[in-house]
Amino acid sequence: MPAFRLTLAYDGTGFEGWQSQSRGSARTVQGEVESALRRLSGGERVALCAAGRTDSGVHALGQVVSFSLDRGIQAGDLLRALNGMLPHDVRVLEAALAPESFHARRSARSKLYRYLLDTGPLQLPTRRPWAGHTPWRLDEARVREAAGLYIGRHDFASVASAGGSALTTIRTVTRSEARFLEPEAPGPGPTLLYEVEADGFLRRMVRSLVGGLVAAGRGAVSVADLRRALEARDRRAWPPPAEARGLALVRVDYPPEALVLR
């Protein structure tokens, strides 16, 4: 059975997240792609595995999924056929044959997420689908210092939502960088661009990490308080999470040997 790897981009606005619901009526990215693959393969049920199970409203610029098909098809034909059948809010950027052992989530070495947060008294309507919004003015130095706290191997229990299926809440964050972009029009304030890379993420972890940056940046908590809240391993100690719409899964990295066809 040939195994495939797809790189997907989607606008999360019109989806109730990646994962198909057991009730089945919600529009999900997984549901759209599986349904297109089923039509393509003549009715075969295809089970997709995604690197990141993005929540409702979360976008992707480089989600990776894996699956097997009963019959052979050229990767380039698969890409064109899927893009012909899928709705415009999901696109296949890349399709490739994968080793049978390849698993989009378990084979991943790291994932990179991006969060855009517009600040200031109002948000440009054209930014709203891709950026969260806070009216507070954020102190750049404190936001950067807070972002630095997350780097390294930590128990991230304080920023994991209930209901996650992870066996451990220990993760290693290899990159956690905040910078501010100039506003696109007069009136709105600067935009916080936050990028975080780790070997794995807990449920709603990135949105909670951003919630911590906002709380520190606006002075609701000190950076020292935030460090204690992280060390407390208790999610009741943590500031509220940022909205889903500012979040995008940018990239998933794999060790080269995971992608090599034997």
Which residues are annotated as catalytic?
55
- Find the binder of a copy of itself among 17, 31, 57, 62 (CB under 8 A): 62
166 burial via Cβ count (<10 Å: 0-12, 13-18, 19+): middle
Q: What is residue 150's three-state secondary structure?
A: coil
Residue closer to a copy of itself by CB (options 94, 234) is 94
Q: Which of 94, 100, 177, 234 binds a copy of itself (CB under 8 A)?
A: 94
Q: Could you tell me which residues come within 8 angstroms of residue 177 by beta carbon, excluding any fewer than 6 positions away?
A: 147, 194, 195, 196
Closest C-alpha among 234, 241, 236 to residue 208 = 241
Both tokens of 175, joined, read: 């990159």
Q: Let me know if 260 is exposed, middle or buried by CB neighbors in 10 A (0-12, 13-18, 19+).
A: exposed
**Taking the complex as a whole, how short is the minimal distance between the CB of residue 162 and a copy of itself, in angstroms?**
29
Q: Is 76 in the site for a copy of itself (CB under 8 A)?
A: no
**Is residue 83 involved in binding a copy of itself (CB under 8 A)?**
yes
**CB of 34 or CB of 118, closer to a copy of itself:** 118
Q: Answer yes or no: are the C-beta atoms of 194 and 210 closer than 8 Å.
A: yes
Q: Is 27 among the residues that bind a copy of itself (CB under 8 A)?
A: no
Q: How far apart are CA 19 and CA 3, in angstroms?
A: 20
Specify the stretch interacting with a copy of itself by CB under 8 A; choose among 9-17, 33-41, 105-113, 218-226.
9-17
Question: In this structure, are residues 202 and 166 in contact, taking their beta carbons and an 8 Å threshold?
Answer: yes
Q: How far is the CB of 78 from a copy of itself (least distance, A)?
A: 14
Is 125 an interacting residue with respect to a copy of itself (CB under 8 A)? Answer: yes
Q: Out of 24, 72, 186, 256, which residue is the one contacting a copy of itself (CB under 8 A)?
A: 186
- For the record, the structure tokens of 38 come out as 């089923």
**Which span (17-25, 183-191, 203-211, 213-221) binds a copy of itself, by CB under 8 A?**
183-191
Residues that bind a copy of itself (CB under 8 A): 7, 9-11, 59, 61-62, 83, 88-94, 122-126, 128-130, 184-188, 248
